[in-house]
């Protein structure tokens, strides 16, 4: 679940301004371009600089010319050209670049902007997209960070119990399976409290959680997923204690 959260935070298949049926996975953090409505002449010079210098293309697309052509041409073909932002179609930018600029190279360069989800939005659109982006990232990041801390605490708790058990399971004079069952009974009985610690830290100044209904369920989904396994672990440990005790002490 933690690894899934990381992927969902960093990647998306939706970006405002791109066709809704373009589902190419991309980095959720989209690029930010200079808004054309701020200074049209400046935007034209920016485009001219970007498309008229081979160093710009080589820097943005770090592949050999052959791999660059194969990769980007295939990307353009497989997306029916939708990967190229509308504002960077050759028909719209050819007046802003130098006459000797190669149209195919320009399309590949534009496709790289599309893969990075960089659009030449109007200033209002750029601000709106930034606000939407912040909302998305905050929603995912708060769950990701909280789940990361819970997972780390569970890992530390598991390692701590395991290290305490090591001397007993390495010495043949002790009933190995009995101590293992007792140890993991303690582990499974307390692990839910360990997972709940981060929420307790958030509400520490209130000396407890006043109303759990106020907590977003997305922040507690890990507990609901882990709880059945903990209950099964408690039951299995109790059975193991009984069986190992009967075997060892009889």
Predicted confidence at residue 65, as pLDDT, reads: 82
The residue segments making up the domain with residue 211 are 143-249
Residue 32 lies in a domain: yes
pLDDT for residue 176 is more than 80? yes
pLDDT of the residue at 198: 92
Q: Does some domain include residue 8?
A: no
Residue 232, pLDDT above cutoff 90: yes
CA–CA gap between residue 211 and residue 216 (Å, rounded): 11
The pLDDT of residue 211: 81
User: pLDDT class for 111, splitting at 50, 70, 90?
Assistant: very high
- For 115, phi then psi, to 5°, come to -65, -30
Give percent of the chain above pLDDT 90: 44
Average pLDDT, the chain: 89
Q: Flag whether pLDDT at 92 surpasses 90.
A: no
Q: Mark whether 232 and 180 lie in a shared domain.
A: yes
* 103 and 196 share one domain: no
The DSSP bridge partners found for residue 26 are 12
Task: Indicate whether 170 and 101 sit together in one domain.
Answer: no
Evaluated on CA atoms 116, 122, 125, 126, the torsion sign reads: positive
pLDDT (mean) for 167-183? 85
The answer to whether residues 154 and 226 belong to one domain is yes
Confidence of residue 210 (pLDDT cuts 50, 70, 90): confident
- Asked if residue 169 is part of any domain, the answer here is yes
Sorting pLDDT into bands at 50, 70 and 90, what band is 204? Answer: confident
CA-CA-CA-CA torsion sign (105, 75, 57, 117): positive
Considering the domain architecture, whether residues 102 and 58 belong to the same structural domain is answered as: yes
Q: In this predicted structure, what is the pLDDT of residue 98?
A: 72
Q: How many domains, the chain?
A: 2
């Amino acid at each position: 679940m933690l690894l899934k959260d990381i992927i969902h935070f960093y990647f998306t298949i939706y970006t405002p301004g791109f066709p809704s049926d373009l589902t190419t996975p991309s980095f959720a953090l989209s690029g930010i371009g200079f808004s054309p409505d701020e200074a049209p002449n400046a935007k034209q010079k920016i485009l001219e600089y970007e498309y008229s210098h081979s160093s710009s293309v080589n820097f943005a697309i770090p592949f050999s010319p052959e791999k660059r052509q194969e990769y980007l041409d295939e990307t353009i073909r497989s997306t029916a050209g939708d990967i190229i932002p509308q504002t960077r179609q050759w028909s719209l930018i050819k007046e802003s670049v130098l006459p000797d600029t190669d149209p195919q190279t320009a399309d590949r360069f534009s496709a790289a902007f599309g893969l990075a989800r960089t659009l030449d939005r109007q200033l209002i659109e750029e601000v709106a997209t930034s606000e939407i982006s912040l909302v998305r990232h905050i929603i995912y990041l708060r769950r990701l960070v909280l789940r990361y801390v819970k997972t780390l605490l569970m890992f530390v708790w598991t390692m701590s119990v395991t290290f305490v058990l090591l001397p007993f399971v390495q010495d043949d004079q002790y009933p190995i399976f009995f101590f293992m069952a007792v140890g993991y009974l303690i582990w499974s009985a307390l692990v839910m409290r360990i997972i709940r610690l981060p929420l307790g830290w958030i509400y520490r100044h209130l000396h407890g959680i006043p109303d759990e209904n106020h907590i977003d369920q997305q922040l507690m989904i890990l507990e609901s997923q882990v709880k059945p396994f903990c209950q099964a672990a408690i039951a299995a440990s109790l059975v193991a204690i009984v069986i190992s005790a009967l075997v060892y002490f009889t």
